[in-house]
Structure 1
Amino acid sequence: MPSSATSFSSDARVMRRFFSTTLGQILAIIVCSSSVTFALFTLLLLNPSGPPKPPWPWQPTFRIANFARVLARLPVDARAHTAAVMQTPDYVLGMTTTPARCTVNTLDNGELYHTLRDELRDIGATVSVHSCDKTDPGGTIQVLVKLPGDDAQLEVRTQHIGPEPPRLRFPFYGAILFMCVGVLGMSVWAVSLVVRPLRRLADKADAFGRDIALAPIEEEGPLEIRRAAHAFNLMQERITQSLHNRTRMLAAVSHDLRTPLTRMRLQIDTNESPSMRDKVRKDIDLMQTMVSSALSYLNTGNDNENKEWLDLSALIATVCDEYEEAGAAIRYDGPRQIRYFCRPDGMQRVMANLIDNALRFGETVVVVASVRDDTILIDVSDDGPGIPETRLRDVLEPFVRLDPSRGSQPGSVGLGLAIVRDIVRAHDGHLTLFNRRPSGLTARVQLRHAVEF
């Protein structure tokens, strides 16, 4: 039972998804309009206030039934003479007690038999209908009518009676006309539903080329149009954010480079001591660090590195060992192996930036990795001064530097945590910061634990 319910729910989701597409919506509209047209067409043909539905086939049934009714009202001895008088070139009549019976059956003869039987039931007559020529079933047919109270039978011979063509009058033409107009109107409406969002999207794209400060486009219409509008909104947001960040980066780097350049100029103009070279070299290294940090942020997410399976625990341990060999007080605690599908260089940059940030403001760093259900957690903690609670989200933005809680360090333009956040987001992860007690800060990286098949 649960499996049946699950299957039904899955089928319902597939149907809803199909009818949310452009094809599904146009198909639904055409089917609905055709159904309404068919219903109205049926009502017009079955209108009880109109003329009664004639028997089928109409003409031969009407004529032969009239012949039989007239003869049934006459005396038996007068029927043969009257039948001879009533016959026409198309209908040969006669009363006979020993008719030469025809035996060939056809579908058309069956229709005529049933309608005559129903039509003459009120006078108690019995009917038989057959074709006479085996080589030409569509030739002459024989109708025998046994009238009550008479040993003789009415024999009617006529040519083949095929299906009567439809009576193409107002109900038929009206229904066809309504169907054509209805389907045309519904189709135009359906196409307009598709074209209108596309036209709005085209107008927005054209306006975006002139002004990037635009409101997001409404995500409406069929599924494909909503996806295109959503992609356009994301593209607009990313381009706007990228241009904004680059503007801020240029302003920040320009401002920060002004100080070391001024200092270098003063040292060259006023100081000729041998130690001047070392100071100038340090200022050059400082400028190189700031420029490298800015370029690293600009390139975040733009590399073409492929994802691959690796041991994330081993990668973290290796990074921590390199810092420990350089003299940093750092410790790593985690499982022996964590299989994760990622970009290795990107994850290495994440760990390096987080550890650099922690060592810049603390003396001891602890890195802890764990796996909980389908989530990988990586905590990088330091024993520094921490960050005010109201500024925890601000420091994840580019070019944000706090002072004095975590100090403005030489060579920092406030891009380290922004780079980490963008790389983690590219891995469908999340970066959060929270203060430790009594002091310190923890940067937590949450990653989805992909399963290797």
Structure 2
Amino acid sequence: MAGPASPQGARAPQAVARRITLWPRGLVGRVMFVLLVAVALVFVGSSVFYEEAETYTIDDAQLEQVGERLVIDARVLAATPTSQRMVLAAMLSTSDLTVDWRNQGQQGALKVEPPSLRKLHDRLAGTLPVLQGDALNLSGTIMGTADVRGTLRLPDGSYMGFLAPDILEPHHMRRGLVSAAILAGAVIGAAGMLVRALSMPLRALADVADTVGSGQWVPLADKGPREVRYLARAINAMQERINRLIADRTEALAAVSHDLRTPLARLRLRAGFLEDTNAQKEIEADVTEMEAMITGVLAYLSGEKDPEPARSVNVASILATRVDDDADQGRDVTYDGPDQAQAIVRPLALKRVVGNLIDNAVNYGGNAHVSLTLMEDALCIRVEDNGPGLPEAELDRVTTPFYRVEGSRSRSTGGLGLGLAIVSREVARGGGRFRLFNRLGGGLCAEIVLPRMP
């Protein structure tokens, strides 16, 4: 008989699931981690570059150190016999301070130290009495260079010449700026990569949020920081509720429309047996209007989840066919444009859009002129009429669902205020632009600009 499962074996998966990772789970924790990494980089970089910069830092303390060496070398030379001073001076010379010995005859007349070197003289002398006054002469230093040249008079009247090369070179400024630039660039680069990694889930959320309600939504992956995962789950749940509400509403409207069409058909049939001709016409007109209302509402709502794919079609053929059909019915509709105009569109949606614009133009303007213009990466469709046009204040409002201009509320023109709303929605869904404007010569123009290769 098998014994009971080991408690340690049961706790093993939990231990694996609860393992501590360096990468925080929350967004706040990850931002703090980025800041800590940046601070650590600054600290490490400062420590590394400090030693490098310290080598090249020249200040008053180093000038004072050069002055102390001059005093010591001068005392050593003064205590040495003159026959050995030149050899000793060569032995005392180093790469950062070269000295030589000169008697009065070799030195010659000293030049007067210029006032511009007085400040450098005081910095080099510091608190050393031997270097103060006219014993130290910097007349040999050339302004604009980094070398310090001069002579120091010894107690017996001879002179010690010296040269401190590159002591005035501002290494600390140049090297400091370069070090700071390298360090700042490294910190910015590392922080930028980490912040970019943090922002990628947020960009994915933004892309998915743009597709909510469009019928092209794809569930968002449940990954990233804890807050982003919570938001992704909320968006997925919201989209599922929206899809369910849209489906339920569409099914309900379809059922209602089906149930309404049956009594409307019976009512139309019974109206045909009426002896009163006027009453018969009025009832048939009411039935026709009710059927048009049902058809228009379903046409508008059915597009919210339109599965029709976009494909390459001849837009000119679609326009010409629709114009020919209207012309065969005796309507004043004309077409002007090329015979071929290939574009990637949704054919049924385009036919619905063009049909609505032509119907509006004929009903309210008396005629419709359809034109097609080809551009490099787009095509422009215009439907114009010779009617009275629209007030400027109404041009932006007529694309609102169920909105109708007051003058159009008549049974002769019909309409529910959904025609232009459908046009605006379908054009926007295809990545195009739709606008209405009054023509200069009178009438209204509806313009659609669609990309040829969306």
TM-score (norm. length: structure 2): 0.46
TM-score (norm. length: structure 1): 0.46
